[in-house]
Each structure stands twice: as C-alpha cells, then as structure tokens.
C-alpha cells in the first residue's frame, strides 16, 4: 500500500507547485533575496516541505526522538521564507535554543575524535553539548548560505547520501535499504525540478537538510566509531567551511557574520563565469553549481576508499581548504578589479 502512495508523490509535488505558483503562496521572486541569478519569475519554495513530509513518512520510527526538533527547525525556515522572522539574529537565537535542547535531551555527544586535547575538553558533558550545538548550527546556516545556486545544496546532499548508501553506513543507524532508495529518488526529483527553475528549497529546505544530515552523520559515528571522525567532517566540509570562512572574513571587516552578502564562493564563481562567457544567467546558475558539486563528488568518491584512515581524511580536508582558499582569492580579486591570468 505504501508503495502505491510513493508512486503518487511526483504528481502531488507537481500539482502542489502549480497551485502555490498560481496563488503566489510561499514563492520567491528570483533575482531578489533568495535567488539572484535566474530569470525573474515566482518560484515555489516547496522543496523543503516535501523533504520534511517524506522523511517523516519514510523514517518515522527510526527518527522518532528527533521529530519535534526536525519540525522546529523546519518551521523556523518556513517563517523565514514568509518573512515572519526577518531578523537573522532572532533566527539564530531560536535555532540555538532548539538545537541545544535537542542535544541535551537526546544526549548527543561527540567522543573519541582522534584529537587528544579535544577529547579531554569534550569529557565535560556540558562543554560537549555546546560543541555539538555549535557544529550543528554551523552546518545548518552553512547549508543556507550555499542555497544561492540551483541544485547546489540539494546536489551536495544527494552526493553525500549516495556515498553513505554505497558504503552501507545508513545500515548502522537502522535505515532500511528500500526506503533509502526512495529517498535518493526523491532527492533526485527535487534536484531535477530545481535544475529547471521549477522549485527552490527555501530556507525551510536548507535548514532542514543541514540539521538532518548533521544528526544522521553524528549518529553514524556514535554507533560505528571504527570509522574515522575526519571522514564525517569531510562529508560536511563544504557548508561548514563556507560558514566558518564567511564568519572570519565578515568579522575581519567589522561586519555582522549573520548579515548575508554577495561574496560567498559560489557567488564569486558565478560572477566570474558570467563575465567570462556569454551564457544566459539561468544556465550559468546550474553550471556553477555543477562545477562545485562535481569537485566534491570526486573528493568524496576517493575518500570513501579510506574511511578508517584518519591521516588520509585529514589530507583530503586540508587539500579542500587549500583549493577553496586559492580559488576564492583569485575569484574575489577578479570581481573587485584584478583580472585572473
């Protein structure tokens, strides 16, 4: 019976999108705040809604202890999309409260990181809860920062899902094989609709995915500690580093790290391609995302052969940071007056 319901999902998604677009409900005008690089038309911010509902249906028993918090993070995103919570400071404070309560009530702790000094610091439970909360918030908001190009966020987490599925790491936390296949199918469908500018994730989708994958990967490591902790970090390196790097560069110029700008890596890459090549903006949107996600796919695939080797995973992480920093510097200089050779 459930299989027949799943077959109707594509039609439900398409019909819902048509209705939302017709009545201009929960839609974003591309070219404004949410998406700046596509054609100006109203696009439904429904990607996160479908992901949220399907996760509840697919993994209701497996994730039951997180339902309230998944719902809370999702609602914060919805309220942000509706401009009900306009202040990024308020959004962050609300996120902080819910994530901290979630880590404490579910006793989510990170142990045996492989770094002796960090393990010593994290031996204090309260500090551990604060550290886990900080990590999850970095991923949640980092995912939101990335949601400026079609398919960038959904494509990134689709790649992470496929890698973890290939390694059978979802089995460690009890997620069924058949349900995971449908989840991958759903991510792929939303990727397809996002690629053709028919659906955006919205803040509800980017917040939701960031929180969900943070919880999933922490639980995988908690239950299977033979795996390198640095492999878990690598799987989330891009949203994490994008956020951390953004915080550092904004503070260094005496700006609030919570205020958005147009100097994220993917935005600079888009700007470079737009100035260098005569493609339409909507194509460059997806091309820019493809370049970034293809790079991450290659890195993750290579790293997936060494999931127990911390030293190799550290090399991959350092390599990513060096590549990011080098290219970012050149793209930034190109945008602000210095040409790339």
Tokens of 303: 């790293």
Average confidence score pLDDT of the chain: 87
Q: What is the pLDDT of residue 29?
A: 53
Measured distance CA(118)–CA(111) in Å, rounded: 9
Q: What is the pLDDT of residue 129?
A: 96
Q: What is the pTM of this model?
A: 0.92
Which residues have C-beta within 8 Å of that of residue 129, sequence separation ≥ 6? 100, 103, 104, 108, 109
Measured distance CA(125)–CA(49) in Å, rounded: 34
Q: What is the pLDDT of residue 107?
A: 92
Measured distance CA(147)–CA(264) in Å, rounded: 11
Q: What is the pLDDT of residue 30?
A: 46
Residue 256 has pLDDT above 60, yes or no: yes
Domain boundaries, the chain: 2-335
Measured distance CA(165)–CA(171) in Å, rounded: 8
Q: What is the pLDDT of residue 34?
A: 41
- Name the strand (E) or helix (H) holding 29: strand 27-29
Residue 149 CB-density burial (10 A; 0-12 exposed, 13-18 middle, 19+ buried): buried
């Amino acid at each position: 019976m459930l299989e027949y319901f799943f077959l109707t999902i594509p039609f439900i998604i398409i019909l819902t999108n048509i209705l939302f677009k017709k009545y201009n409900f929960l839609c974003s005008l591309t070219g404004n705040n949410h998406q700046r690089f596509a054609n100006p038309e109203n696009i439904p911010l429904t990607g996160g809604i479908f992901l949220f509902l399907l996760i509840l249906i697919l993994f209701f028993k497996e994730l039951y202890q997180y339902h309230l918090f998944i719902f809370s993070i999702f609602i914060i995103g919805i309220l942000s999309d509706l401009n009900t919570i306009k202040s990024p400071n308020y959004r962050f404070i609300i996120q902080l409260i819910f994530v901290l309560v979630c880590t404490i009530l579910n006793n989510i702790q990170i142990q045996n990181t492989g770094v002796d000094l960090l393990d010593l610091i994290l031996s204090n439970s309260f500090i551990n809860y604060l550290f886990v909360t900080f990590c999850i918030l970095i991923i949640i908001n980092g995912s939101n920062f990335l949601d400026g190009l079609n398919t960038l966020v959904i494509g990134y987490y689709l790649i992470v899902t496929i890698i973890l599925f290939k390694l059978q790491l979802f089995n460690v936390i009890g997620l069924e094989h058949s349900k995971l296949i449908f989840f991958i199918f759903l991510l792929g469908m939303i990727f397809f609709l996002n690629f053709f500018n028919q659906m955006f994730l919205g803040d509800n989708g980017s917040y939701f995915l960031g929180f969900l994958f943070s919880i999933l990967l922490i639980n995988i490591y908690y239950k299977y500690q033979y795996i390198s902790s640095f492999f878990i970090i690598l799987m989330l390196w891009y949203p994490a580093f994008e956020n951390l790097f953004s915080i550092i560069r904004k503070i260094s110029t005496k700006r609030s790290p919570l205020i958005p700008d147009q100097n994220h890596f993917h935005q600079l890459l888009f700007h470079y391609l737009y100035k260098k090549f005569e493609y339409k903006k909507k194509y460059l949107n997806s091309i820019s995302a493809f370049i970034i996600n293809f790079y991450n796919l290659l890195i993750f695939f290579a790293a997936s052969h060494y999931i127990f080797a911390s030293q190799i995973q550290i090399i991959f992480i350092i390599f990513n940071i060096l590549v990011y920093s080098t290219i970012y510097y050149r793209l930034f200089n190109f945008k602000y007056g210095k040409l790339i050779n």
